[in-house]
Amino acid sequence: MPAIELKNISNFICRNISLKIADAELMVLLGPTGAGKTTLLNIVSGLIDHEGSILFDGVSIDGIPVNLRGIGYLLQDLALFPHLDVASNITYGLKMQKRRVDEIKARLDEMLELMNIADLVRRYPKDLSGGERQRVALARALAPFPRVLLMDEPMSNLDPLIKEIITDEFKSIQRKAGITTIYVTHDQDEALSLGDRISVLNNGEIEQIGAPDELFYHPETEFVARFVGFKNILKVSIIEIKQHEAVVYINNECIDQPSKIRVKNYPVFEKGKEISLCIHPESIVLKRVNILVDSNLNRMMGKIVDRRNNGKNIRTTIDIGGSEVHALVPKALFDFKIHEDVWACFAPDAAYPLCGRR
């Protein structure tokens, strides 16, 4: 399977996108609606015009029409051919490649077994459930031995339970087949669990490319930070750097105590510099004001202004001198009332700096 390289891709939505995807890699394009994710897939598949160049294994494919590119494309609505049964849907690409009948039959059987859908073979799409459609669509995309697999939010219409099962199955199939894949989603959980690497797109530009952990803990921009779930972004000034720790001052005049916090030292820190620190809401611990807080923890005094049930957790908003801090507290540990004064505490190593462009 080829490595893909996009060189300065531009069109009416995408702006100068360059991206390298390794052989057999699963690259996730993550971004909000309208960021240009689907457009980029359509460009790679050859369905829409663009400037710049696309290379498969170093060879330009710009002049190759869409039907000869060897692309497996899984659309959000799956687009199963309604007038063909499951077998004919899966073998459609093989027939277009004019393969021999026995070869087509063998590949069909292989796909039916791989996707575990042998019993659906004579059914029509209208008689399939969401999960079954998903498998048939994936089988149809994989059957004609594509060089590259493009997936456009294929799981977005599934219920969470089936989604988890199919996502796991897909990941193992993708690994086994070693097929280079570009996977589009707007769901950060899906992206973080599925991708070998993730490119975050915003307004037709790539904000950051990195492994899931890199994105999750070291977002480069505020957009990426917010997209991967950092709800708390504090603007701070570094006032002192020690060996493992830095002392910073929170740039919020309303906060009078404590204005100083200690955070883990990062190479990007420089004395006197202003930076943004991101804290995941799950890292914020709430303590009663009359309880002695562990001196290792940073603490900020605030008032609970909102609480929302979020399944296992309570999503809490704390007003700290005019700015809001968000905490995700396990339901079992939450025994606070609304408007109650609390300490919002976090460990020094729970704060990550935004280290890219601002």
Partner 1 sequence: MNKLNWLKPRWSMLPVFIFLLIWEMAARLGLIPGHFFFPPFTAVLQEFYHLTANGVLPYNFLRSLTRVLIGFTTGSIAGLLMGILMGYRETINKTFHPIFSLLYPIPALGWLPIFMLWFGISEILPIMIIFICSFFPILYNTITGIKTVDKNLIKVAKTLGASERKTFTTILLPLALPNIFTGLRLEAGMAWRVIIAAEMVAIPTGIGALLMRAESLIRIDIVIVCLMVLSVMCLSFERFFIYMEHKLTGNWR
- Asked if residues 37 and 44 have their Cβ atoms less than 8 Å apart, the reply is no
Q: Whose structure tokens read 């199919």? A: 166
Q: Considering the rule CB under 8 A, would residue 249 count as an interface residue with partner 1?
A: no
Rounded to whole angstroms, the Cα distance separating 272 from 31 reads: 33
Smallest distance, partner 1 to C-beta of residue 124, A: 5
Using the minimum distance from each CB to partner 1, give the nearer residue, 21 or 225: 21
Q: Considering the rule CB under 8 A, would residue 71 count as an interface residue with partner 1?
A: yes
Binding to partner 1 (CB under 8 A) within 82-101 occurs at: 82-85, 92-93, 96-97
Rounded to whole angstroms, the Cα distance separating 259 from 254 reads: 9
**By CB under 8 A, which span of 74-82, 190-198, 251-259, 281-289 interacts with partner 1?**
74-82
Binding map of partner 1 across residues 51-70, x = CB under 8 A, - = no contact: ---------------xxxx-
Using the minimum distance from each CB to partner 1, give the nearer residue, 137 or 328: 137
User: Judging by DSSP bridges, how do beta strands 4-10 and 51-56 pair with one another?
Assistant: antiparallel
Rounded to whole angstroms, the Cα distance separating 188 from 151 reads: 15
Using the minimum distance from each CB to partner 1, give the nearer residue, 73 or 223: 73
Please identify which residue in 73, 223, 230, 343 interacts with partner 1, judged by CB under 8 A.
Answer: 73
Please identify which residue in 2, 31, 36, 72 interacts with partner 1, judged by CB under 8 A.
Answer: 72
DSSP 3-state of 137: helix
Smallest distance, partner 1 to C-beta of residue 137, A: 9
Smallest distance, partner 1 to C-beta of residue 39, A: 13
Please identify which residue in 39, 45, 202, 276 interacts with partner 1, judged by CB under 8 A.
Answer: 45
Rounded to whole angstroms, the Cα distance separating 71 from 65 reads: 11
Smallest distance, partner 1 to C-beta of residue 61, A: 13
- Asked if residues 137 and 166 have their Cβ atoms less than 8 Å apart, the reply is no
Using the minimum distance from each CB to partner 1, give the nearer residue, 143 or 224: 143
Smallest distance, partner 1 to C-beta of residue 262, A: 54
**Both tokens of residue 80?**
């199963």
The candidate with the shortest Cα–Cα distance to 87, out of 146, 154, 130, 139, is 139
The candidate with the shortest Cα–Cα distance to 51, out of 20, 19, 7, is 7
User: Judging by DSSP bridges, how do beta strands 148-152 and 341-346 pair with one another?
Assistant: unpaired
Q: Considering the rule CB under 8 A, would residue 81 count as an interface residue with partner 1?
A: yes
Using the minimum distance from each CB to partner 1, give the nearer residue, 76 or 323: 76
- Asked if residues 293 and 310 have their Cβ atoms less than 8 Å apart, the reply is no
Q: Whose structure tokens read 């890292």? A: 283
Smallest distance, partner 1 to C-beta of residue 12, A: 18
Binding map of partner 1 across residues 126-145, x = CB under 8 A, - = no contact: x-------------xx--x-
Residue type, 215: L
Q: Considering the rule CB under 8 A, would residue 47 count as an interface residue with partner 1?
A: yes
Rounded to whole angstroms, the Cα distance separating 18 from 164 reads: 31
Q: What is the DSSP letter of 294?
A: P
Query: Is the bond preceding 258 in cis, omega lying within 30 degrees of 0?
Result: yes
Q: Considering the rule CB under 8 A, would residue 176 count as an interface residue with partner 1?
A: no
Smallest distance, partner 1 to C-beta of residue 199, A: 21
Cα–Cα distances (Å) from 29 to 88, 120, 202, 227, in that order, read 31, 32, 10, 12
Using the minimum distance from each CB to partner 1, give the nearer residue, 181 or 298: 181
Using the minimum distance from each CB to partner 1, give the nearer residue, 29 or 325: 29
Q: For binding to partner 1 (CB under 8 A), which residues are involved?
A: 45, 47, 66-69, 71-73, 75, 77, 79, 81-85, 92-93, 96-97, 124-126, 140-141, 144, 150
